[in-house]
């Protein structure tokens, strides 16, 4: 399977193939819903998407998942080293993840500014632990979420001028990350971070102290429950806007994106079904439901690729 994907993508250099395999392994291990959705992409699209995920995961590991005893100064230094290596150019064949993402960026002409925006937001996580309002949070998400959506867009392809699809791709990246913030309030507090706008929480009488009380006691105060319900409404509206961009994508990419949107948005339902009890438990979409949605998407993906193949063969015969 992996070999056929790399062959379809025209990646034959053994060192590059190793690099892309490494990124795929990271995606499969850490991004279960996202990885499941990538199975609906055409084989040639999967390796570059895995490469982008691998790079994002690499940076995230520097911030959170390495030795917890590492101080912020060391993490900042390692993040800067990653940035310097990436922007120095070259093939990076000695660093598998950098090799794959650099190859993908060149091949799909993904702007360097999107990677700079991403790394800028990653640096913010070293010094910023809360956001006073929606504008401040959006500044962070411009690099941490929207940039990811825009990096993927050239791989997905569009049937409209790319500029028309940009706002919707950015919104989808933002919706995915807002969903994570909504679900992972408890985990983020353990890292001394709050990714919900402070002024919007305050409207329901919620502050950081109350969130920490909920974190310690593993229960959701009614004021926090009301605040989360309000956040849920904002995220749902973001998904509705992003969904309007799916018809702008290349037909073969639509089932993947629609499946990812459906599964991520249903995390909101799972949290609501648990009466917003996000402390001490993590809401997930059940495996059976994930497979049903993915199965339906897979059928749509096969049909789209088959239709595209028929058109291609017809055009070749006509020529």
pLDDT digits (tens, 9 = 90+) for 184-224: 999 999 999 999 999 999 999 999 999 999 999 999 999 99
How distant, in Å, are the alpha carbons of 7, 252, 307 from that of 313? 21, 16, 10
pLDDT given at position 68: 64
Question: Considering only CA atoms, which of 81, 191, 78 is closest in space to residue 128?
Answer: 191
Distance, CA of 275 to CA of 284 (rounded, Å): 14
- The residues with which 158 forms a beta bridge, in sequence order, are 249
Q: Domains of the chain, with CATH numbers?
A: 1-109 (1.10.600.10), 128-303 (1.10.600.10)
pTM check: above 0.75: yes
What does the alpha-carbon distance between residue 127 and residue 150 come to, in Å, rounded to a whole number? 25
Q: What is the 3-state secondary structure (H, E, C) of 101-142?
A: HHHHHHHCCCCHHHHHHHHHHHHHHHHCCCCCCHHHHHHHHH
* Cβ(63)–Cβ(79) below 8 Å: yes
Cβ neighbors of 156 (< 8 A, separation 6 or more) are 45, 249, 250, 253, 256, 257
What would you report as the CA-atom Rg of the chain, rounded to the nearest whole angstrom? 20
Residues of the chain with pLDDT under 70: 1, 65-69, 307-319
Output the six-digit token pair for 244. Answer: 């309007």
Token pair 């102290």: residue: 209
Nearest to 193 by CA among 264, 125, 104: 125
Distance between start and end Cα atoms, the chain = 33
Got the DSSP string for the chain?
-HHHHHHHTT---HHHHHHHHHHHHHHHHH-HHHHHHHTTS-TTTHHHHHHHHHHHHHHHIIIIIS-TT--HHHHHHHHHHHHHHHHT-S--TTSHHHHHHHHHHHHTT--HHHHHHHHHHHHHHHH----SSHHHHHHHHIIIIIHHHHHHHHHH-BSS-HHHHHHHHHHHHHHHHHHHHHHTHHHHHHTT---S-HHHHHTTT--HHHHHHHHHHT---HHHHHHHHHHHHHHHHHHHHHHTTGGGB-GGGHHHHHHHHHHHHHHHHHHHHTTT--SS------HHHHHHHHHHHHHHHHHHHHHHHHHHHHHHHH-
> What is the per-residue burial (b if ≥16 Cβ within 10 Å, else e) of 49-64?
bbbbbbbbbbbeebbe
Phi/psi region, residue 111 (left: phi>0; alpha: psi -120 to 50; beta: rest), is beta
What's the confidence (pLDDT) of residue 312?
Answer: 43
């Amino acid at each position: 399977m992996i070999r056929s994907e790399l062959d379809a993508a025209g990646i034959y250099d053994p060192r590059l193939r190793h690099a892309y395999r490494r990124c795929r392994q990271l995606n499969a291990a850490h991004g279960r819903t996202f990885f499941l959705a990538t199975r609906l992409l055409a084989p040639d699209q999967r390796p570059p998407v895995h490469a982008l995920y691998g790079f994002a995961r690499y940076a995230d590991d520097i911030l959170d998942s390495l030795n917890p005893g590492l101080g912020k100064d060391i993490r900042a230094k390692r993040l800067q080293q990653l940035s310097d290596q990436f922007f120095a150019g070259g093939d990076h064949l000695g660093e598998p993840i950098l090799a794959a993402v650099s190859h993908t960026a060149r091949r799909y002409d993904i702007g360097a500014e999107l990677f700079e925006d991403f790394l800028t937001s990653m640096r913010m996580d070293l010094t910023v632990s809360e956001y006073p309002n929606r504008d401040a949070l959006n500044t962070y998400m411009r690099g941490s979420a929207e940039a990811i959506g825009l990096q993927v867009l050239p791989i997905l392809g569009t049937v409209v001028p790319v500029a028309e699809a940009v706002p919707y791709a950015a919104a989808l990246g933002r919706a995915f990350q807002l969903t994570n913030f909504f679900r992972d309030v408890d985990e983020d507090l353990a890292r001394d971070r709050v990714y919900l706008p402070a002024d919007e929480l305050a409207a329901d009488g919620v502050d950081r102290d109350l969130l920490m009380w909920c974190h310690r006691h593993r229960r959701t105060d009614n004021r926090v429950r009301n605040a989360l319900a309000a956040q849920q409404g904002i995220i749902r509206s973001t998904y509705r806007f992003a969904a309007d961009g799916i018809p702008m994508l290349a037909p073969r990419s639509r089932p993947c994106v629609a499946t990812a949107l459906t599964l991520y948005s249903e995390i909101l339902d799972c949290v609501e079904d648990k009466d917003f009890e996000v402390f001490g438990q993590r809401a997930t979409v059940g495996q059976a439901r994930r497979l049903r949605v993915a199965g339906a998407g897979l059928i749509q993906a096969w049909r789209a690729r088959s239709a595209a193949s028929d058109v291609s063969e017809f055009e070749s015969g006509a020529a």
